[in-house]
Structure 1
Amino acid sequence: MFESLSERLGGVFERLTKQGALTEADVSTAMREVRVALLEADVSLPVARDFVAAVQKRAVGQEVLKSVTPGQLVVKIVHDELIQVLEGEDEPEALKIDNPPAPILMVGLQGSGKTTTTAKLARRLSEREGKRVLMASLDTNRPAAMEQLAILGQQIGVDTLPIVKGESAVQIAKRAKSQATLGGYDVYMLDTAGRLHIDEVLMDEVQAVRDIAQPRETLLVVDGLTGQDAVNVATEFEDKVGISGVVLTRMDGDGRGGAALSMRAITGKPIRFVGMGEKIDALETFEARRIAGRILGMGDIVSLVEKAQATIEAEQAERMMKRFQKGLFNMNDLRMQLEQMLKMGGMQGVMGMMPGMGKMAKAAEDAGFDDKILRQQIALINSMTKKERANPQIMQASRKRRVAAGAGLEVTDLNRLLKMHRQMSDTMKKLGKMGKGGMLKQAMRAMTGKGMPDLGKMDPAQMEEAARAMQDKMGGKLPGGLGGAGGLDLPAGLSGLGGFGKKK
């Protein structure tokens, strides 16, 4: 999400921050490049024009031009204005799902991912907020649409309204309302039918359902890949039905992100969630401060910690911490870390959310370091005996040949893995010695949600500075092998893996 825009803006601001002093001409030149970058990212012309004007007005003030670090102040101004564009005047309120049963109406065009998003949101409300949710499909047109929602309901453990053939959308809405009331549900979600384009039949049906359900929330699901057309669809639905928020889907495949930047400014409606993949848990809360940080390459450490909290159990984290504090780090520990990285979005996903590592993630991708490497490393560890995983120092030539053959790889690949393990083991020992519990203990507490600061309110520049300070303390290495180790300046254990799994 926002990869191309982030890359373009990164180049502009890198040149600004390298200059010792700025003139108004420097700022004007940079803002012209920013405007072009926004338009190429499919941001609407009025939004791009107003954004650049607002930044330039603040950036040519005396406090910036005479500042010791003018380039950094300009980046901060851009960050603040991005938040303003994405968020509007006020932060969006939480979903109105009090006073059960609370109806949520899901609307949108066909093919936008509306049914899948309905299930994703139902799962989120059920698992994270403890709500009892009922889903109902009102799509009587698309073949197997009702069955699709029922199957998704089984997968996520959320009830769906029994299917009765021949009913109209309004009849189904009435039955869902009655079932939710009698069944003691907290929320009931109505997945309406979509069309390939906006037409009177679609709008008449949605309006009729709206009048019956009187929804607390009407969420429009639009495909983020459609760019400015997504904004046009939102405007149409707001005018004819009335929406309370937007869900942008397929944002993991949109390197431009212009729809997100234009949506709030043009429609006045908040983006509530973004879909980041096909998996049923790939739905993220849209938070302007975090998104602005991602766009400017400052990472999203809050989302990274949230992902860690969601995938690492508290007891498991405590056990890991105690082992690492003692300087213990064997192949089982390494395999656990590799598996966690895959669960948290893979190598690129994790690195992309770490402050100051956006370019590093891009360099890793260009050099061929992808999740396939992680899976090959796990395969090598799985090919070892229990004794070898616990004590990799015993790996001699004959053992190496057997393990490599068992994983379908080369001995050189195994040697790289063993080197990676040694580097990470040394890192863990250093972390364990840093004070009583030290940095390692703080990191593990953050992952389990204990003692976690409100990073969402921190200035991204401060987070990046803190991350770099941590790198300096570690001699260029971040915890868990996520710091520089030479070569391409990739994470420790990842540099030196060039050609991993390739036949020589």
Structure 2
Amino acid sequence: MFENLQDRFEGVLTNLRGQGRLTEDNIKETLREVRMALLEADVALPVVRRFVEEVREKALGEAVTRSLTPGQVLIKIVNDELVSIMGQANEQLDLTTQPPAVVLMAGLQGSGKTTSVAKLARWLQEKQKKSVMVVSCDVYRPAAIEQLKTVAAEVGAEFYPSSGDQDPVEIAKRALDSARKHYKDVLIVDTAGRLHVDVAMMDEIKAIHAALNPIETLFVVDAMTGQDAANTAKAFDEALPLTGVILTKTDGDARGGAALSIRQITGKPIKFLGTGEKTAALEPFHPDRVASRILGMGDVVSLVEEVQAKVDRDKAEKLVKKLKKGKDFDLADFKEQLEQMNQMGGIASLMEKLPGMGQIPEHVKNRANDREMGKLVAIINSMTLNERRFPAVIKGSRKRRIAAGSGTQVQDVNQLLKQFMQMQKMMKKMKGGGMAKMMRSMQGRMPPGFGPGGGLPPGGMPPGGFPM
């Protein structure tokens, strides 16, 4: 997300850093570029106007013109204004009510509403330690009820059954009664979506809202619709008292216009970002961290939080002990590292949180994607246990068999083995006191807390896994 905006801002801000002092002329030129960047990102015009005016007013202030580093000061102003239009701080879910706390989900058809119900259920269970029940009031699409049943089972949330011949309001009331009887902390209610905002849809969801009196009413909207996402959210808010927004499919949106427009257009905070198809791909929306990503400074705080939450510490410690004993890092260990990376949302999700990713050539970024990682795992899965332990035995005929078994080419197998050998050499340097020595030599090359060795090797994982 924000890829296009990040590229444009990077050029603008690079020019600014080189300025010895700021004048009205170069501020005007800079803001013209910023304005174009925001419009190309499909940010709503009123939001662009306000943003540019606020930055101009602060940039022409005395504190900037007298500063020894006016370019840096202006970058801070742009950063602060980005945070301001997106909502200053993370707005958490409000669950402070007599259980069960009801969360009502609204949105258009195809916005990712049902998947977001499952993602939110998983997040509440894992992060907030809540017991969750989910129910579908979408009686118009039987497939929606079945879909929710399937994803609820995947995340371990209790599913309250419903069917297409029932009244949506009655379903909601019975689900609430069941959630009370089963002492659930949270009830998440999925509602019917439409292709557009219509009267019948609004009347139905108003009736459900009146019957449940939810503490949270979240509008689920597709980020790829740009500023239309903000306009649709506004239409819903006029009929329904929304408390926040879940912005979905942000992994497919390179512009970011929706994220920058919604708060200003609707007055409602974005509470979560849907960052992929997996049920774990939901993250709280932090305006300051998103602003940092847009300005090419990464989001190391979120990255470290993911590492701490999702890395299997036992496996990581086991690998460290193995290396200390002088045993070789093998392909089974390599596969484990790749799977842990996948567990954390994939390499694409991690890379966008790293500072300076905008400066990496596109062809390099394309090589380090989740599909390539999936290919590496498939190749290792096609090997025997002996081949994984002793990669040196993999020669011509074995390579052909492995390639055929994994649906890849022999050159892909060769590439994997080459990457593995490079990584194995790094690991050998870490035996005994080598790890501490290598850490000291690499110190400062990467953000704090990101992997011994300070960078991503060709295989995609920091050597020795992520730090604890």
TM-score (norm 2): 0.86
Change (3 A) 1:439 1:120: farther
Whole-angstrom CA distance in 2 between matches of 1:416 and 1:166: 56
User: Is 2:3 the counterpart of 1:8?
Assistant: no
The residue type equivalent to 1:211 in the other structure is A
The residue correspondences of 1:325-404 to structure 2 (distance < 5 A) are 328-360=328-360, 362-365=362-365, 368-392=367-391, 394-395=392-393, 399-404=394-399
The residue correspondences of 1:172-211 to structure 2 (distance < 5 A) are 172-211=171-210
User: Is 2:5 the counterpart of 1:30?
Assistant: no
**1:192-229: CA deviation from partner (whole Å, max 9, x where unpaired):** 22222222222221111111111111111112221222
Where does residue 492 of structure 1 map in the other structure? 457
Where does residue 469 of structure 1 map in the other structure? 444
User: Is 2:291 the counterpart of 1:292?
Assistant: yes
Change (3 A) 1:138 1:48: same
Whole-angstrom CA distance in 2 between matches of 1:94 and 1:237: 19
Whole-angstrom CA distance in 1 between matches of 2:343 and 2:124: 21
Secondary structure, aligned partner of 1:354: coil
Where does residue 101 of structure 1 map in the other structure? 100
> Is 1:351–1:360's contact at 8 Å kept on the other side of the alignment?
no
Whole-angstrom CA distance in 1 between matches of 2:72 and 2:423: 34
Change (3 A) 1:297 1:472: closer
Root mean square deviation of aligned Cα: 3.0
The residue correspondences of 1:69-468 to structure 2 (distance < 5 A) are 69-88=69-88, 91-163=90-162, 166-324=165-323, 328-360=328-360, 362-365=362-365, 368-392=367-391, 394-395=392-393, 399-408=394-403, 413-428=412-427
Whole-angstrom CA distance in 1 between matches of 2:447 and 2:100: 53
Change (3 A) 1:215 1:300: same
Deviation at 1:361, TM superposition (A): 6.6
Secondary structure, aligned partner of 1:220: strand
Change (3 A) 1:438 1:244: farther
Change (3 A) 1:31 1:431: farther
Secondary structure, aligned partner of 1:144: helix
Secondary structure, aligned partner of 2:105: strand
Change (3 A) 1:157 1:226: same
**1:153-196: CA deviation from partner (whole Å, max 9, x where unpaired):** 22222122222553212211221121111221111122122222
Deviation at 1:78, TM superposition (A): 1.4
**1:40-91: CA deviation from partner (whole Å, max 9, x where unpaired):** 1111111111112222222334443454443333222211211111115x64
> Is 2:31–2:52's contact at 8 Å kept on the other side of the alignment?
yes
Secondary structure, aligned partner of 1:470: coil
Whole-angstrom CA distance in 1 between matches of 2:118 and 2:373: 30
The residue type equivalent to 2:218 in the other structure is L
Whole-angstrom CA distance in 1 between matches of 2:389 and 2:227: 55
Secondary structure, aligned partner of 1:203: helix
Structure 1 segments unaligned to the other structure (5+ residues): 442-466, 484-490, 496-504
**1:460-496: CA deviation from partner (whole Å, max 9, x where unpaired):** xxxxxxx9923599xxxx746663xxxxxxx43369x
Whole-angstrom CA distance in 2 between matches of 1:434 and 1:80: 44
Change (3 A) 1:439 1:22: farther
Deviation at 1:21, TM superposition (A): 4.0
Deviation at 1:336, TM superposition (A): 1.9
Whole-angstrom CA distance in 1 between matches of 2:104 and 2:419: 50
The residue type equivalent to 2:94 in the other structure is L
TM-score (norm 1): 0.81
Whole-angstrom CA distance in 1 between matches of 2:339 and 2:251: 21
Aligned residues: 453
Structure 2 segments unaligned to the other structure (5+ residues): 461-468
**1:322-351: CA deviation from partner (whole Å, max 9, x where unpaired):** 345567533332222223233334333322
Secondary structure, aligned partner of 1:272: strand
> Is 1:376–1:407's contact at 8 Å kept on the other side of the alignment?
no
Whole-angstrom CA distance in 2 between matches of 1:472 and 1:197: 45
**1:276-309: CA deviation from partner (whole Å, max 9, x where unpaired):** 2222222111111211121112222233233333
Whole-angstrom CA distance in 2 between matches of 1:493 and 1:113: 34
Whole-angstrom CA distance in 2 between matches of 1:431 and 1:354: 24
Deviation at 1:403, TM superposition (A): 3.6
> Is 2:103–2:214's contact at 8 Å kept on the other side of the alignment?
yes
> Is 2:420–2:459's contact at 8 Å kept on the other side of the alignment?
no
> Is 2:106–2:220's contact at 8 Å kept on the other side of the alignment?
yes
> Is 1:428–1:479's contact at 8 Å kept on the other side of the alignment?
no
Whole-angstrom CA distance in 1 between matches of 2:117 and 2:257: 24
Whole-angstrom CA distance in 2 between matches of 1:151 and 1:410: 36
**1:231-270: CA deviation from partner (whole Å, max 9, x where unpaired):** 1111122121111011111111111111110111121111
Secondary structure, aligned partner of 1:96: coil
The residue type equivalent to 2:174 in the other structure is R
Deviates more, 1:41-50 or 1:310-319: 310-319
